Homo-oligomer: A and B are copies of this chain.
Amino acid sequence: MSNMGSRVLIYGGKGALGSVLVNHFKSMKSWVASVDLVPNEDADFNLILSESTLQGQSDQLKKLDDELQGSKLDAIFCVAGGWAGGNAASEDFVKSCHSMAMQSMWTSVLASELSSKHLKDGGVFTLTGAQPALKGTPGMIGYGMAKAAVHQLVASLAEPNSGLPSDSLVVAILPVTLDTPMNRKFMPNADHSTWTPLQFIAELFANWCSGVERPANGSLLQLFTKDGSTSVVPAEK
Binding site for B on A (CB under 8 A): 54-55, 58, 87-90, 93-95, 97-98, 101, 105-106, 109-110, 112-113, 115-117, 133, 135-139, 141-142, 144-164, 218
Contacts and interface: CB of A to CB of B under 8 A. Distances in A.
A150 to B, nearest CB: 8
A94 B109 contact: yes
25 contacts: A54-B98, A55-B95, A55-B98, A87-B116, A88-B115, A88-B157, A88-B163, A89-B164, A93-B109, A93-B113, A97-B106, A136-B152, A136-B156, A136-B159, A137-B152, A137-B155, A138-B161, A139-B161, A141-B156, A141-B157, A144-B153, A145-B150, A145-B156, A149-B149, A149-B152
Contacts of A161: 87, 138-139
Nearest to A134: B152
A159 B87 CA distance: 11
Q: Which of A149, A161, A163 has the most CB of B within 10 A?
A: A149
A151 B148 contact: yes
A97 B54 contact: yes
B94 A163 contact: no
Q: Which of A95, A98, A117, A151 has the most CB of B within 10 A?
A: A98
B153 A55 contact: no
A48 B155 CA distance: 36
Contact of A218 (B89, B136, B159): B136
A81 to B, nearest CB: 15
Given A101-B101, A156-B145, A94 B136 contact: no
A162 to B, nearest CB: 4
A54 B136 contact: no
In the A-B complex, the 9 residue pairs with the smallest Cβ-Cβ separation, listed nearest first, are A89-B163, A148-B152, A136-B155, A88-B163, A87-B163, A138-B162, A149-B149, A138-B159, A136-B156
Contact of A58 (B88, B94, B112): B94
